[in-house]
Amino acid sequence: MIIRNLTNYDVEDLIQTAVQEFPAHDLRELAVEIKYCPRTSRQFASGTYYRCAKGRPDGRLIRVRINRANVYPVVVHFRTSQYYREKNSRGQEMVYQKLETVSLRSPEHLVLAIFLHEFSHFLDHLAGRNGRYKQTKADKFAFQKLKALGVL
């Protein structure tokens, strides 16, 4: 795995530890780029897994962006596979997805959470799954790995 960290955060060891159980030959071509969000961004962080990118036709690029202006702890919501029904203001029954809300205490943990979400998309790509309807699965993967690593 090639990690290109353009931030001041020391996250390389955290990322390596998080993926050490996966076969090295699958990770050899994976590129990870960690950088800051644009200064005008209102997002606290974002991430993207590229199935195809400029200079990387086979994809395998994860880009994580983090906002410099974040105040920690940052509250992050992870989707679950649990749903509930509730009536909206018009009396219509709606189906909502339950969220797991956590507080991440440092920028390194936030970067790791975003990386793990995108890493789940990378694993789906390796397995030949399409990229649709995978957000809940990726959130559950990241949440479970963060718990296993002792971050949550």
Residue ranges of domains in the chain: 2-148
**pLDDT given at position 131:** 66
Q: How confident is the prediction along the chain (152 residues), in pLDDT tens digits per residue? A: 999 999 999 999 999 999 999 988 878 889 999 999 998 888 999 999 998 888 777 778 999 999 999 999 999 999 988 899 999 999 999 999 899 999 999 999 999 999 999 999 999 988 888 766 789 999 999 999 999 999 98
Predicted TM-score (pTM) of the model is: 0.90
> At 61, is the secondary structure helix, strand, or coil?
strand
**pLDDT given at position 23:** 87
Distances in whole angstroms, Cα of residue 56 to Cα of each of 29, 32, 87: 10, 12, 47
**pLDDT given at position 128:** 86
Which are the contacts of 81, defined by CB distance < 8 A and separation ≥ 6? 136, 140
